[in-house]
Amino acid sequence: LIHLSVNDIFSNIMSKSLDNQRFDVKVSYLEIYNEKIYDLLNYQVSKGSFGTKTTGIELKIRDDSKYGVKVIGLTEQEVDTSEDVMKWIALGNSNRKTGETDFNSRSSRSHAIVLIRLTCTDLNSGLETTSTLSLCDLAGSERATAQRERRKEGAFINKSLLALGTVISKLSAESTQNTGVGGVHHIPYRDSKLTRILQPALSGDGIVTTICT
């Protein structure tokens, strides 16, 4: 799906490029592990006990006038081809946290989000239009296990998935009923890092596709 999406972006750029337009594409890759955000393209790690990786530098979220929400310090790599994008994603995958669970020998223990930002610049007016494709791989909800670390990870995973479900449910309710004089009801985007990062995609002029396996 990532490969097809990336190819589609660059195919559209080639077909729609005009002399008075410039297209710039940047890719970022982050993970949310135990409600902390890490940059998978600039992952400073060292070896801990028994050869395990220590965590990288935790990043913070801020409101941003251009993107709506931005992860401060997150690496943005400029890319010119779909091959460039896949190269950076492969690097991010190698840094992502996995672990053995009761149900999976190599389970994703974090939510991972690839952000592909496409900026179209009108060279005559200088006007910029930015669109973001967020490709999310969500860690699966799991029952409590005998391993203490897995239980801790599972609790954070379940909490953020519940927050995402609540946000989607409330947005769905907003779109199907009249909220009255008080306007729209509160949408709890800040209940998790996942929903906070995805807030522009969920609440703006976005198209959302969910695949459950």
SS (H, E, C) 66-118: CCEEEECCCCCEEECCHHHHHHHHHHHHHHCCEECCCCCCCEECCEEEEEEEE
Which of 69, 155, 72 lies closest to 109 in space, CA to CA?
155
| Per-residue tens of pLDDT for the chain, all 213 residues | 899 999 999 999 998 877 889 999 999 999 999 999 999 999 775 444 444 455 578 999 999 988 889 999 999 999 999 999 999 999 999 998 766 555 555 567 899 999 999 999 999 999 999 999 999 999 877 665 667 777 888 889 999 999 999 999 998 887 777 555 455 678 999 999 999 999 999 986 788 888 887
Distance (Å, rounded) from C-alpha 184 to C-alpha 42?
A: 39
- Name the CA radius of gyration of the chain, rounded: 19
Rounded Cα distance between 33 and 49, Å, is 20
Question: Would you state the pLDDT for residue 205?
Answer: 74
pLDDT reported for residue 179: 52
- H helices present in the chain, as ranges: 2-16, 82-95, 148-176, 193-197, 199-203
Say if residues 39 and 57 touch (Cβ distance below 8 Å): yes
